[in-house]
Amino acid sequence: MAWADLTARPLRAILSVASFSSSIAIAVVLLAGGDGLHNAVWEILRSIGEGQISITPGRTTGVGGNRKSGRMVRIRYEDVIGIQSELPSLAGIAPYYDLRGGGAASKRYSIPFSPVRAVSQEYFEVRRLPLLEGRWFTVEEEDKGAWVAVLNEGVRNIVFPDLPAIGETIEWRGRKMTIIGVVRDEVLFPYILFLPYTTVSHMADTRYISGLIARPARGVPWDQAVAEVRRVLAGLGDFDPTDVHALEIEDNRDFTARIAAASRALHALVITIAIVSLFLGGLGVANMMVIGVTERTREIGLRKALGAPPQVIFLQVLCEALAIISLGGAVGVAAGALACEAVGSLEMSSTYAADIGFNAGAAFLAIAALGLVGLLAGLIPARRAAGLSAAEALRWE
């Protein structure tokens, strides 16, 4: 009987279903977009070294506070190997050496300027770089100075634009290396190559490092970690640990905290808009049901005069609301899924995009929430219809 009543008034039924389904579809797309943007922001933060400290040797403070009269701080690579045990405030520390003056080339393509960063095996763990293809160096490859390389994504796109890079060879300064991995590093020069530290020692004097990357341990204050790094490295570089010029230390905690807070606020805003959309959809169902009961007041009175009990009238009106919710929910989820598929992804940079993927869990929650609102809204006109007296309803025009 509920289905017959809905089909007897097709325009009202269509408007009710459209109101409900549009709210579901909007909520599904908003939730998918919010999740995609939130995940993309965290991926970007991870690639730019979220939660890390960059340490570069500088110059000691000379006479009269003049840096030019100070001496260069030099830290030997062999001295920083194994110092993790002296730095309990750090979750990890990794040295590196930058080598410039060469271009990378494959069999078909080349790039004239492509620097090399010599790194240890721990560098990948400290930086937490997104690994796009292949793998990172092993300890054995580092120990024996294997001629293997990990490319930054920019190099791969230039030198191997239409072929898989893993397993191929790349040439740098006349040396051929086997490519074992591709990473994405948004902080460094996009066309950089990562080589084992021992391997680069065959091409340049790498006794003194260019810098270090460190990551504070969970729960350790950053100031404590920085002070500890200064104290330990001062012993290795023979300088005063209170000399602020001896080491150039940079951290991105304030920047990443601001970006993370903005991402969370945007995510919360999107969820709020989705909730408002669902609430308005429920109000639309309630409004249509109230109008429907008002239009059928005389019909309800006639049914009651013929002996229909109040609970039957109540159940019929409630079933109409459930039919609208079920049909509108199915249409809304289908429309939302198609919209997510059509959007695909939102480009945020040349290498990052927010994936707007259909989330079945979010769609189920949207239907459940809006269904609850619609169901509660349908109770109002259902109770009103069940409470009408037959004599009053029959007088209605």
How many residues does this entry show for the chain? 397
Does the pLDDT of residue 298 top 90, yes or no? no
The CA–CA distances, whole Å, from 196 to 117, 146, 237, 269 equal 9, 7, 23, 45
User: Is residue 377 very low, low, confident or very high in pLDDT (cuts 50, 70, 90)?
Assistant: low
- Using the 8-state DSSP alphabet, how is residue 217 labeled? P
At 169, the pLDDT band (50, 70, 90 cuts) reads very high
- Please state, in angstroms and rounded to a whole number, the distance separating the CA atoms of residues 7 and 312: 19
3-class secondary structure, 245: coil
Alpha carbon distance 17, 302 (integer Å): 28
Provide CB contacts within 8 A for 95, sequence distance 6+: 77, 80, 81, 119, 120, 197, 209, 211, 212
| DSSP letter (8 states) at residue 102 | -
Annotate 119-137 with DSSP letters as a single string: E-THHHHHHT--EEEE---
Q: Taking residues 279-291, report their average pLDDT.
A: 72
C-beta of residue 179 within 8 angstroms of C-beta of residue 168:
yes
Among residues 106, 61, 115, which one has the least CA distance to residue 247? 61
The domain ranges of the chain are 2-46+257-394, 53-251
Residues 77, 78, 84, CA angle at the centre, nearest 5°? 90
Block residue for tokens 């060879």: 169
pTM (2 d.p.): 0.59
Instruction: Assign 371 a pLDDT band (cuts: 50, 70, 90).
Output: low
Phi and psi at residue 174, in whole multiples of 5°? Answer: 80, 0
342 class by beta-carbon count within 10 Å (0-12 exposed, 13-18 middle, 19+ buried): exposed
Q: Which pLDDT band holds residue 38 (cuts at 50, 70, 90)?
A: confident
